[in-house]
Amino acid sequence: MLKRLGRWLRAAGYDTEIADDGLADREVMAQAVAQGRLLLTRDKQMMERRAAQAGAAMLLECNDTDSCARELSRRLGVDWLYRPFSRCMICNTPLVAAPPEQRPQVPPKARTRLEILLACPGCGRLYWEGHHVKRMRKVLESWQKKSG
């Protein structure tokens, strides 16, 4: 579930790593410390690690994405409208303006009302203000409203 929250944090523009499934708790914790990141977890055992107790991790009490979003606003001051859609939700790379030759990759239906086309230099994914992004933007706005 925190994977989904991680993607939403990226959608809001926050530099967010999502732990790989195969990693042991120890490795996840070590990675967070090495990269100077705050580890968000719902795993109480993770909090028993020394680094977690030194402040490198935070235990979330929420149980769905919606309540987690509110908890992050409340406890960390997360601004859900910080820099919406400035990062790739899949790989966390900052997005750049897509070169014109990538425009034909957008479905024709979306292309007619195309304003801004962004590309991820990391994984090649394209982003544009289609229905999907509009829907997500509404969710971000609603989280921000509830927290403010």
- What are the residues binding Zn ion (CB under 5 A)? 88, 90-91, 93, 120, 122-123, 125
Nearer to Zn ion, 49 or 87 (CB): 87
- Residue 84 has φ and ψ, to the nearest 5°, of -55, 135
Question: Taking the C-alpha atoms of 20, 78, 93 and 95 in order, what is their torsion angle to the nearest 10 degrees?
Answer: 150
* CB of 30 or CB of 90, closer to Zn ion: 90
CA distance 132 to 66: 18
Give the nearest residue (CB) to Zn ion.
88
Helices (H), 12-130: 25-34, 50-51, 65-76, 108-111
To Zn ion, the closest distance from the beta carbon of 18 in angstroms equals 12
Q: Minimum distance from CB of 16 to Zn ion (Å)?
A: 12
Of 5 and 119, CB closest to Zn ion:
119
Shortest distance, position 85 Cβ to Zn ion, whole Å: 12
